[in-house]
Amino acid sequence: MKTFVVLVAVSLLSLIGAEVEQHEHQEEEGGTTQVPKYLTAVQANNVNVQIFVILRELEDKLRDTERQLADLRREVRCNQVAFGASLGDVGNIGPFNAEITLTYRNVYSNTGAYNPTTGIFTAPIRGVYYFSFSGHNDCSKSMGLRLMKNGEQMITVFNHPAGNRPETATNGMTLQLEVGDQVYMRLRADTWIFDNLNNHSTFIGHLLFPL
């Protein structure tokens, strides 16, 4: 766009300069052709000044537009929040005599709000989010999973022992979050969870819309 503005100005200046030169040449040869007033040397200079003023105004508007586009791009990026991860090929996790925060290190997608080292999702903007999770285990032992928000349980699943067979449990919930709210998964004490290359046990979340 800047190039276009400059080319327009240069073209106008060249056209005016050519007309003024032709007018002066006609005067030297004693020509009697009447030239429009805007083609006199003084007025042509005034036109040059006006063109540069217009060019400066266009450049200022262009800078404003570029700033607005940059702000819009930042806003769009902020509104793009999503992640999806699984425990990965870890085998059994647990049982432990105390609760632990699960770390889903096998990340499929992540716009940056989920930390695979800690297992914690931190809301970058105020909005309504959706989270879901699945857990797989050998139900010879219990599996208890809790979706947490800032230390408070939102929803849970619990598989009771039911013999030597595999089971999967899932759950999900829509949550309203403020900037900095943290969402994560906890494994209850004295329970376990299983995952392998099939990625049975997952944790996902994404922004539905900002508030």
- Print the SS3 string covering 29-83: CCCCCCCCHHHCHHHHHHHHHHHHHHHHHHHHHHHHHHHHHHHHHHHHHHCCCEE
pLDDT attached to residue 179: 96
Mean pLDDT (whole number) for 121-142: 96
Domain ranges in the chain are 2-78, 82-210
Distance of CA 210 to the CA centre of its chain: 12
Question: Does residue 146 or residue 52 have the better pLDDT?
Answer: 146
| Average pLDDT score, the chain | 83
Instruction: Assign a CATH topology to domain 82-210.
Output: Jelly Rolls (2.60.120)
pLDDT attached to residue 60: 76
Name the nearest CA neighbour of 187 among 97, 100, 92: 100
Note the maximum CA span of the chain. Answer: 115
| Four-CA torsion 207, 149, 194, 130, nearest 10 degrees | -20
Look at the block and give the residue holding tokens 């006006």.
50
pLDDT attached to residue 108: 97
Name the nearest CA neighbour of 121 among 111, 113, 131, 109: 113
pLDDT attached to residue 30: 53
Rounded percentage of the chain residues whose pLDDT exceeds 90: 59
Can you tell me the distance from the alpha carbon of 51 to that of 65, in angstroms, rounded to the nearest whole number? 21
The torsion angles phi and psi of 50, rounded to 5 degrees, stand at -65, -40
Q: Is the model's pLDDT at 31 over the cut of 70?
A: no
| Lowest-pLDDT range of 8-17, 66-75, 171-180, 181-190 | 8-17
End-to-end CA separation in angstroms for the chain: 35
Can you tell me the distance from the alpha carbon of 122 to that of 130, in angstroms, rounded to the nearest whole number? 13
pLDDT tens digits for range 35-92: 455 556 666 677 677 777 788 877 877 776 666 665 545 554 568 999 999 999 999 9
Please check whether residue 210 is in contact with residue 79, taking contact to mean a CB–CB distance below 8 angstroms. yes
pLDDT attached to residue 173: 98
